Amino acid sequence: MRRHDLLAELHRLLAPRTYLEIGVNVGGSMTLSRTRSIGVDPYFSVDREIMCDVHLVRTSSDEFFARQHPLAHFDEPLIDLAFIDGMHLAEYAFRDFVNVERFCHPGSVVVIDDMLPRDVPEARRDRSVPSGKPAWAGDVYKILGTLRELRPDLVCLEVDTAPTGVVVVLNPDATNTVLVEAADDVVESYVTPDPQDVPAEIMDRSRAHDPRALLDLPVWGELAAARTLPTDEARTRVGEAVRSLR
């Protein structure tokens, strides 16, 4: 299954009230949204029909989140579904996740693209170096280790999508400050010269879920239902729904 097919299914199963996309490019993934949406990309050049109420913001994700009310296009500053697919360097994806989580509720779902590079050249930080492959995943895979180490409360699901794999993050917590406090050290650790030391389990996808099997689980309906609950109740319900996925 390709990453856009997974994303389309998540839109269908979750029926999100809001969708935030970081990295729009020509609009391929934005065409999947039918809900109130925001797309952020300093260089977007949309060349296809978009069928949702979208605010396209021509700026970097860092500048976007530094704004006073970045989600003013939504009725409430809450993200039900996010797709992080901007700059493919770990420090950018890390900051994107931290910023997205500030606007999440327990039932929110965050999809991060390019998390399972298939080989070391595909995971290079320097895109200008030819790798002989069309895809450039970069080293965003590094944030998976950070999330698992520092945030065991999150459920991070590796998913075997083409071409470069995604991670779906469940059970976010907008009140958790652990990542913000660790940010300087974490980001410094990411900036290492190529070639990157990509873990074998990332490249061979031995921990990755089959996307169809994952989509068939009842958890998506539970997450959508949790959105209508007060935060404490939602956290309990989501905790129960994701327990079997840990």
Q: Give the interface with ligand SAM as residue ranges (CB under 6 A).
A: 22-25, 28-29, 40-43, 60-61, 85-87, 92
Q: Which is nearer to ligand SAM, 141 or 173 (CB)?
A: 141
CB nearer to ligand SAM: pick between 38 and 223 = 38
Which residue's CB atom is positioned nearest to ligand SAM? 28
From residue 104, give the alpha-carbon distance in Å to each of 19, 98, 107, 235, 244.
Answer: 11, 10, 8, 12, 22
For the CB of residue 207, give the shortest distance to ligand SAM in the complex, in Å.
23
To ligand SAM, the closest distance from the beta carbon of 61 in angstroms equals 4
**Smaller CB distance to ligand SAM: residue 137 or 226?**
137
For residues 56 and 182, which CB has a smaller minimum distance to ligand SAM in the complex? 56
Which residue number, 31 or 176, has a Cβ lying nearer to ligand SAM? 31
CA 163/CA 181 separation, integer angstroms: 33
Q: Name the token pair of 218.
A: 């009842």
Cβ proximity of 73 and 55 under 8 Å: yes
For residue 167, the SS3 value is: strand
In the complex, least distance from residue 41 CB atom to ligand SAM, rounded to whole angstroms: 4
Q: Is 189 helix (H, G, I), strand (E, B) or coil?
A: helix
Least Å distance, CB 59 to ligand SAM, is: 7
* 38: β partners: 20, 55
Structure tokens given for 139: 């080293």
Cβ-based nearer residue to ligand SAM, 20 or 242: 20
Structure tokens at 108: 């929110």
The span from the CA of 214 to the CA of 177, in Å, is: 29
Least separation in angstroms between CB 24 and ligand SAM = 6
Could you write out the DSSP letters of every residue in 114-164? Answer: S-S-SSTGGG-S-TTS--S-S---TTTTHHHHHHHHH-TTSEEEEE--BTT
CB of 8 to ligand SAM, least distance (A): 11
Q: Please, which residue, 24 or 223, has the CB nearer to ligand SAM?
A: 24
The reply to whether omega before 134 is within 30° of 0 (cis) is: no
Q: Which residues pair with 159 in a beta bridge?
A: 166, 209
| CA 52 – CA 55 distance, rounded (Å) | 9
Nearest distance from C-beta of residue 218 to ligand SAM, angstroms: 27
